[in-house]
Amino acid sequence: MNHKKIGIITTGGDCSGLNTAIQRIVDGCVRRKWDIIGIKDGTDGLCCTPAKTVDLTDESFQFAASHLAGSILSNGHSWAENFESSAKAGKLGSFNKKLQKSLKDLNLDALVLIGGNGSLSLAHMYREIYNGLSLVCVPKTIDMDVPLTDKTIGFDTAVQQLVSYCDQLLLTARSHHRWFVVQTMGRDCGNLALNAGIAVAADAILIPEIKFDVENLVKHIKQSKRDYGIIMVSEGISIRGHSGKPADMISRALNSANIPNRTAYPEHIQRAGDTVASDRILATGFADTALKAIENNETYVMTVLQDGEYKTVSLDDFFNAGKKEKDPNITGAITSNRYVEPDDVLLQIATDMGIYIGEKRK
């Protein structure tokens, strides 16, 4: 087996499972007698001269951090030089050149980039940054909005975090005969709200992909056999003529109908939590697949899980498979996105179980 030097970087929002993926990749490199370095602080650490790096073979990290949320490498500072700030300053070209130079100086054979659909779309768009090395991407995000893979690292733990949170809320909800409108993360993709809503037997689940009617929601809640429960609301929903946080909008509508309720915002707790077993298995499967891809000198690929099979797809395929949207933060950049499909089996299950999920599939 040829000797290689591998780098790992985590970019975009953090989530639980990043450290498991890092640890498994490090393990695989050590077994292969490859050198392995971690790049600190995402792209803002990479664009420094010299790039900020860390020794990941340190034993204390191996044992302490692999099941904990967050990234041992950090994902970067919001105020630093990165794709977003460089695009705003009209300096994307020079920023990309800095990244390219750093990678060259590090003399890497391969880079494992663990990122969400924003980072993966940027890697596809600015592929020249990774010229001369093998770029293998690993999808992670609690939003589960990455095309072509059945799962992304962090999603299952985020669902579990929401379930634990709602289990607690339900106890107080029952005592006070009132409803909780829980606003989930997920950006404009409803996967997180839909899965968590089904797991906690929410009475209603509102997601951006499905139009809903507030009056029908109110009617549905009034007809419930219980006088307490969860109304799961994705952060990406909107109501015509209303502004503000989606959960507040729904809460106001319930107030007008004299339905006692409170709002709850689990916020970044969804990105935390000890990594659940299925995310650890996924992270391990992706680590194994990424290392094999490096052995096979693959480049511009992403690891995926499809119908139980771990494999790689090209970044071109990833990009072409999704719905293209303008990147909300980076002028000129396009992201490739996945949404809840109208034929998602969970939508039918929710309907069959009497959960209000809206009116018409958009």
Q: Which of 13, 139, 197, 273 binds ligand F6P (CB under 6 A)?
A: 13
Residue 279 C-beta: closest distance to ligand F6P, Å: 15
Give the x-and-dash track for 183-202 against ligand F6P (CB under 6 A).
--xxx---------------
CA 293/CA 302 separation, integer angstroms: 9
Catalytic-role residue among 44, 143, 188, 279: 143
Handedness of CA 38, 42, 44, 46 (dihedral sign): positive
Yes or no: say if 21 and 283 are a contact pair by the CB < 8 Å rule: yes
Q: Which amino acid is at 121?
A: S
Question: Which part of the chain contacts ligand F6P (CB under 6 A), choosing from 136-144, 252-260, 278-286, 343-351?
Answer: 136-144
The Cα 328–Cα 342 span in angstroms is 25
Active site residue 143: yes
Dist CA 91 CA 81 (whole Å): 10
Beta carbon nearer to ligand F6P, 218 or 232: 232
Q: Which residue has the tokens 């946080």?
A: 245
- Is residue 327 a contact residue for ligand F6P (CB under 6 A)? no
The DSSP-derived string for 322-351 is SEEEE-SSSTT-EEEE----TT-HHHHHHH
C-beta nearest to ligand F6P: residue: 185
Map the footprint of ligand F6P across residues 239-278, applying CB under 6 A: 271
**CB nearer ligand F6P, residue 70 or residue 101:** 70
Which DSSP string do the residues of 222-241 spell out, in sequence order?
HT-SSS-EEEEEETT---TT
Position 141 contacts ligand F6P (CB under 6 A) = yes
- Count of residues in contact with ligand F6P, rule CB under 6 A: 10
Question: Contact between 120 and ligand F6P (CB under 6 A)?
Answer: no
**Complex with ligand F6P: residue 102 or 157, whichever CB lies closer:** 157
Residue 198, classified by CB atoms within 10 Å of its CB into exposed (0-12), middle (13-18) or buried (19+), is buried
- Spatial separation of the C-alpha atoms in residues 29 and 353, rounded to whole Å: 47
Q: Which is nearer to ligand F6P, 133 or 144 (CB)?
A: 144
Task: Quote the least distance from Cβ 270 to ligand F6P, whole Å.
Answer: 7
By CB under 6 A, name the binding residues for ligand F6P.
13, 116, 141-143, 185-187, 235, 271
For the annotated catalytic residues, the residue numbers are: 143
